[in-house]
Structure 1
């Protein structure tokens, strides 16, 4: 656990908690929009417009934290976040990150499952970051 006692780790973990909290908020917003779509409160064009504004910032925040962990030699945290970064990169490269208004109703259940898995991942990462921060603070 030598990685937990290096200098500047408190700042890194605090920023990571804030960042993953923002990611959780973005996923919850996407889930609320999906619920609005399923209950016909918004149409598919409005849904796609709103979702497409949120997806790219989520990818950028996730990439920034993964690269930060890599550059600051936080290997364990980088490896934990790397699969999601690779997944986001593959979706971005294949142009699957944008939601098409004409195909929204075909992908709602798949998209909902996708969002729930990401929400669970981000919540697990939140608690890991919180544990590491508290471990580092109380071990001194």
Structure 2
């Protein structure tokens, strides 16, 4: 599945309302947020996207299967900047969904990962709060 650039790691239970798209170490944070959102009755899919470029090379049917269009909140989660994310957050045809991004908005810092994630708000609580705000 990694060879396709992105895949559904955990699907929603019930009606899908939120899609969390995460990379690398942030996938575990997305899964924790999904658990909390599902407990609130908010159907949440987690997509692992290890490589945007490989995902872009897949046919449209596959991309739509992983990131369907519609009135679904999409949140990108990456311990990096937003650059490159809009195609997948907004949708390939433009503004298909309400969107958010959890990541960095300035040059990085130096500290253990868990300290930096907390400092920059890359936490499951921040994801849950953003999802609720966007719904």
TM value normalised by structure 1: 0.28
Which of the pair is proportionally richer in strand?
2
Q: Which has the larger radius of gyration?
A: 1
Highest RCO, 1 vs 2 (Cα 8 Å, sep ≥ 6): 1
